[in-house]
Structure 1
């Protein structure tokens, strides 16, 4: 409005007033477009959240698989150490057979020491193998969840595409298809959230 008391309408003002009063078609087309537009925005937001969770679970799966490989390598190192102690024990046992009776005691002590060391090493190696298996299971669970989130995101993207087609063609049945597809995507997302 100007200082002189009269108001000049611009094209935008006219369009806003037109939309506010229901448009030339009694509001049905604008209502349809508005409903589809709001639903598209909601689906895009939910899809972005699902996509983020899909990326996070994929990163976790990789991290957990890496941890499993590290633990498996550490377990392998322990088993190699165990094998080394076994070889030394075998050498001490052979020496006990070959030396005179009065010189067997130091070798007997070595055999006992190697047996104890091997037992400790075996416990450590088995613990590391269990940890590796646990990390592998966690990785597999995260990968499964990643697939669920990816499925949910894909279905929501299809719903958004249906919304665009419905908006362009003004077909009510496509709008209902969008709602059905969106519901399916949300259900798959809920399944991912519940770790199903």
Structure 2
């Protein structure tokens, strides 16, 4: 899902513009020049909601980009951790061979030499294991951050969609002059803003 999918401005905005013009002319014809209070109210609401929706759409795209970046960082860290575990396995193999050689050594001098190698491999293994576990923890942290950003992206997308629906209802309300559509416009717009606030609060 691309961040460019969610746009506040769409074909319905042109319909809204035409509906506003026609509705204004209709009210003036019926009630005189001062009768356009509903039109002015809806036009002002639409302008505010369109601006808020543009901000929400931008935040949605930004959080999606962050999610992809963090997921990529997690993949890099997982590869680094895998390399460390492979290195750990190689040291374990060398240690096992040294242990076999020590057990088969014909004299104490050779056994002492292999024992020193075994101790060195064991120390190196612990260092490698520590590095691998640290990198794995970093990978999990990047995964967690990516999931959080994707969750926020979905919140911003939901908020933007709700505001788009609110704008569409505004256009229909202007054309039909239905009060319940105007109330629905305000209700859906409030829902969209509420979801946006949830995204701001990381909920």
TM normalised by structure 1 equals: 0.86
Q: Deviations over 1:33-84 (max 9, x none)?
A: 1111111111110000000011111111111111111111100000000000
Q: Distance in 1 between matches of 2:175 and 2:35?
A: 11
2:58 counterpart residue number: 52
1:76 counterpart residue number: 82
1:136 counterpart residue number: 143
1:188 aligns with 2:191: no
Match of 1:195, SS state, is: coil
Q: Distance in 2 between matches of 1:28 and 1:149?
A: 38
Q: Distance in 2 between matches of 1:187 and 1:27?
A: 36
Structure 1 segments of 4+ aligned residues over 4 angstroms from their partners: none
Structure with more helix by fraction: 2
TM normalised by structure 2 equals: 0.83
Match of 2:36, SS state, is: helix
Q: Distance in 1 between matches of 2:105 and 2:193?
A: 78
Which 5+ residue runs of structure 2 have no aligned equivalent? Answer: 1-23
1:89 CA drift (Å): 0.5
Match of 1:104, SS state, is: helix
Aligned length: 176
2:184 counterpart residue number: 177
Q: Distance in 2 between matches of 1:99 and 1:73?
A: 39
1:93 aligns with 2:99: yes
Q: Distance in 1 between matches of 2:196 and 2:42?
A: 21
1:86 CA drift (Å): 0.3
2:11 counterpart residue number: none
Q: Distance in 2 between matches of 1:121 and 1:147?
A: 39
Q: Distance in 1 between matches of 2:77 and 2:192?
A: 37
1:123 aligns with 2:136: no
Which 5+ residue runs of structure 1 have no aligned equivalent? Answer: 1-18
Q: Deviations over 1:72-131 (max 9, x none)?
A: 110000000000000000111111011122311111111011000000000000000000
2:155 counterpart residue number: 148
1:35 aligns with 2:36: no
1:29 CA drift (Å): 4.4
